[in-house]
Structure 1
Amino acid sequence: MSDHDDVCVLLPTMNEAETVARVVADFRDAGFENLLVIDGGSTDETRSIAREAGARVVEQSGRGKGQAVREAVRDHVRAPYVLMADADATYDASDAAAMLDPLLDGEADHVIGNRFADMRPGAMTRLNRIGNRLINLAFRAIHRESYRDILSGYRAFTRESFLRLHLTADGFGIETEMAVECVKNRVSVAVVPITYRERPGGSATNLHPVRDGGVIFLELYRKAKTNNPLFYFGSAGAAATATGLAMGAFVLYRYLAFGISHEIVAVGAVGATILGIQLLVFGVLADMIHSLHREQIARYERAAGDGSTGRSSADGGDDRAIGTEEVADAGRTTGGQDAGPDDVAGRDGRGG
């Protein structure tokens, strides 16, 4: 029997025939027997190679990594813990124990592997490295948490905590969305240093830096609507206000310098400025409502915790009362006559 029977290793794949067997073998050598490969419709031999290597293989019903992860955890994983990794051999199976430790010790419900802690030469291009840094900075600014590497594909989490997240991303935005949802739902997160290696020769990446980077930035901004409304509405309001003021300055300059009036531009400037101020005010109000909502939820949670403690104390009191009644009942003599406590003690002392 494996030491990790309560862990499912989840490997989303898409044309990973060059590396999937090596990844499956590495995790099996590390003591993991429950390996699930969920494939997004590979056109190479990924599925057959994964089966031969000893993994359970499922073909996802939709497309994209995000949809694959959601479908796998919801429909095909029954283990309480999930260890998710890419099947491109860039992650090290020897880091699995460190990834799982915070979960098994009860310190966190979601673990992110920090690739920047030990990134090997050639593992990430300069463009990707810059993009990753910018995205992490944006995440910290918008969502006010620092997870160091929110785009890491090496994750460990409890299945229960994953099902609490409201995830909709279908592509590579799934990692970003998971990080945002952890903040929103106050899921405890631990960050663990891991090794990140260069993709083996012959395997091609499915990531498109510009396209997928744009999707990730949009996902960060979209999720700010419910997690940081002041930033979401305030940034749009600031942009509209700045545009309106710039247009107004242009109209004023043209009128004062050349005597030329731009009525249409002036109307647009006033409209943009008013819209921007309204968005700023709405952002402030939405942020106040969001803060009150969080405080209310915290109150409910504290009340629920105090209620559980109170019930435990009450149950203990009832047990003690029941115990007292039993002692009193034991004090009654046989034959229907009641005996006092001293008589009971006396008979006990004489051995009955």
Structure 2
Amino acid sequence: MKISVVIPTLNEEKGIKKTLNKLKPIKKEYDAEFLVIDGGSSDRTREIAREKGAKVIVEERKGYGRAYKTGFSKSKGDIIVTMDGDDSYPAENTLDLIEYFQENGIDFLTTNRFGEIKEGAMTPKHKLGNAILTKVMKLLFNINIKDSQSGMWIFKKSLLKELDLKSNGMPFSEEIKIEAFNNTEIKSIEKPIRYREREGQAKINSWKDGLENLIYLFKKRFT
């Protein structure tokens, strides 16, 4: 069993070291690789990632979804794990999540950041936006999850051929959940995690990205 951890980055020198350090226990239990898909960082993100044993792939084409598609295509694992490189997700709990994933015969696992969210980890504006997007997803696709925008997933790589993933941008996060949860042949669940304040400066453009995600939900549903 090989595990691939795919991490998209852009100027995450403050968080990538912590993230990769917390992932080390996986290598004691599995044949694991860490892939950092970098969108053109101007800081030491790539250098630090390589020092910590990660394979760095530079993706010059812009987009959150594009970074993941590139990472998935380069990954060699039977199971793929994703997360951001800013230390906001509990990388230290990844091994436990993988074991839970396997023991329960799960195909796709997404996480709920509101299970235990630290103060300051998410602004009120982001919480409201996420709530709206999650509610709209439920209404349009009948998917009952609590966090439509979480970026930490665990899934079998073999599922990718079953998922119709078109977005190259931020909507990729909601799209992969829609595709997985709406496929009756895929056992999908959501599991709560601890979520904390990121290291470094946030890259998300709240209004622009939120509106893009909202429009994409309707576009996917009706076209």
The equivalent of 2:4 in structure 1 is 8
Cα offset for 1:30?
4.8
The equivalent of 1:44 in structure 2 is 43
User: Which of 164, 167, 173 lines up with 1:169 in the alignment?
Assistant: 167
Contact 1:37 1:57 in 2 (8 A): yes
Spell out the pairing of 1:168-317 with structure 2 (5 A cutoff).
168-186=166-184, 187-200=186-199, 203-225=200-222
How many angstroms apart in 1 are the aligned matches of 2:215 and 2:191? Answer: 27
The equivalent of 2:143 in structure 1 is 145
* SS in structure 2 at match of 1:83: strand
Cα offset for 1:218?
0.8
Contact 1:11 1:37 in 2 (8 A): yes
Cα offset for 1:102?
4.5
Gaps in structure 1 of 5+ consecutive residues:
227-352
Contact 1:99 1:113 in 2 (8 A): no
The equivalent of 1:277 in structure 2 is none
The equivalent of 1:60 in structure 2 is 59
Deviates more, 1:159-168 or 1:128-137: 159-168
How many angstroms apart in 1 are the aligned matches of 2:97 and 2:116? Answer: 15
Q: Is 1:24 aligned to residue 23 of structure 2?
A: no
Deviations, residues 91-140 of structure 1 (Å, cap 9, x unaligned): 11232134323531353211011100000000000010011111111111
Instruction: Count residues in correspondence.
Output: 219
Cα offset for 1:35?
0.8
How many angstroms apart in 1 are the aligned matches of 2:42 and 2:60? Answer: 15
Q: Is 1:158 aligned to residue 159 of structure 2?
A: no
Q: Which has the larger radius of gyration?
A: 1
* SS in structure 2 at match of 1:145: coil
* SS in structure 1 at match of 2:87: coil
The equivalent of 1:72 in structure 2 is 71
Higher helix share: 1
Q: Which amino acid aligns with 2:221?
A: A
Higher strand share: 2
The equivalent of 1:109 in structure 2 is 107
* SS in structure 2 at match of 1:199: coil
* SS in structure 2 at match of 1:34: strand
How many angstroms apart in 2 are the aligned matches of 1:192 and 1:95? Answer: 12
Deviations, residues 150-183 of structure 1 (Å, cap 9, x unaligned): 2001111110112321112122211111112123
